[in-house]
Amino acid sequence: MQIYQGKSVYEGIAIGKIRVCKKGEQQARRIPVTDINGELERFHQAQEATIGQIEDLYGKAREEMGEGNAAIFEIYEAILTDDNYVNDITTLIKKNGYNAEYAVTVIKEKYLQMFAAMDDEYLKARALDIRDISERLLDALQGGKKSRIEDEESIIVLSEELTPSEALQLNLEKVVGFITVEGSLYSHTAIFAKTRGIPALINVDIGMDTSLDGKLAIVDGVGGHFYVEPKQDVLQECMQKLRTVKEEKQILLSQQELNSIYDKLKICICANIGNIKDVEALKDLNIKGIGLLRSEFLFFERKDFPTEEEQFECYKTVLEAMQGKHVVIRTLDIGADKQCAYFHMESEENPALGMRGIRVLLENRELFLTQIKALLRASAYGNLGILYPMITSMEEMTEIKEVLEQAKTELTREKNLFGTPTHGIMIETPAAALISDLLAKEVDFFSIGTNDLTQYTLAMDRQSSKLEAHYNKYHPAILRIIRLITENAHKAGIPVSICGELSADISLTEEFIKMGVDELSVAFGMIPILQKKLVELSK
Last residue of some domain: 219, 247, 275? 247
Residue 55 lies in a domain: yes
Last residue of some domain: 205, 221, 247? 247
Residues 400 and 508 in one domain: yes
Residues 325 and 259 in one domain: yes
Which of the four pLDDT bands, split at 50, 70 and 90, describes residue 150? very low
User: Can you give the pLDDT at residue 130?
Assistant: 81
CA distance 334 to 324: 29
Residue 455 lies in a domain: no
CA distance 196 to 347: 33
User: Can you give the pLDDT at residue 252?
Assistant: 55
Which of the four pLDDT bands, split at 50, 70 and 90, describes residue 148? very low
Residues 128 and 155 in one domain: no
* Residue 114's CATH number: 1.10.274.10
| Whether residue 341 has pLDDT greater than 70 | no
Last residue of some domain: 123, 141, 159? 141
* Residue 288's CATH number: 3.20.20.60
Residues 182 and 287 in one domain: no
| Whether residue 143 has pLDDT greater than 90 | no
Highest mean pLDDT among 97-101, 216-220, 481-485: 481-485
Residue 335 lies in a domain: yes
Cβ–Cβ under 8 Å, residues 238 and 15: yes
DSSP 332: P
Residues 242 and 259 in one domain: no
Range in 156-165, 267-276, 464-473 with the lowest mean pLDDT? 464-473
Highest mean pLDDT among 137-151, 154-168, 263-277, 414-428: 414-428
Separation of CA 42 from chain center = 36
| Total number of domains constituting the chain | 3
User: Can you give the pLDDT at residue 531?
Assistant: 85
* Residue 188's CATH number: 3.50.30.10
Which of the four pLDDT bands, split at 50, 70 and 90, describes residue 167? low
Question: Which residue type, as a one-letter code, is found at position 437?
Answer: D
CA Rg value for the chain = 25
| Whether residue 152 has pLDDT greater than 60 | no
Residues 151 and 192 in one domain: yes
Range in 47-61, 68-82, 242-256, 281-295 with the lowest mean pLDDT? 242-256
- Say which residues have a Cβ less than 8 Å from residue 405's Cβ, sequence separation at least 6: none
Residue 197 lies in a domain: yes
Cβ–Cβ under 8 Å, residues 343 and 300: no
Residues 350 and 404 in one domain: yes
Better-scored residue on pLDDT, 152 or 45: 45
Helix (H) or strand (E) holding 359: helix 358-363
Which of the four pLDDT bands, split at 50, 70 and 90, describes residue 520? very high
Please state, for a pLDDT cut of 90, what percent of the chain lies above it: 37
User: Can you give the pLDDT at residue 366?
Assistant: 95
Residues 177 and 295 in one domain: no
Please state, for a pLDDT cut of 70, what percent of the chain lies above it: 81
Better-scored residue on pLDDT, 496 or 186: 496
Residues 272 and 132 in one domain: no
Residue 279 lies in a domain: yes
Confidence (pTM): 0.66
| Mean predicted confidence (pLDDT) in 293-308 | 81
Residues 177 and 131 in one domain: no
Residues 186 and 72 in one domain: no
pLDDT in tens, 368-401: 999 999 999 999 999 999 999 999 999 999 999 9
| Whether residue 411 has pLDDT greater than 70 | yes
User: Can you give the pLDDT at residue 339?
Assistant: 58
- Average pLDDT score over the chain: 83
Which of the four pLDDT bands, split at 50, 70 and 90, describes residue 207? confident
Q: Which residues are catalytic?
A: 188, 499
Residues 195 and 80 in one domain: no
pLDDT in tens, 444-491: 999 999 988 998 999 887 666 567 667 788 899 999 999 999 999 999
Domain, as residue range, for 357? 255-426+498-538
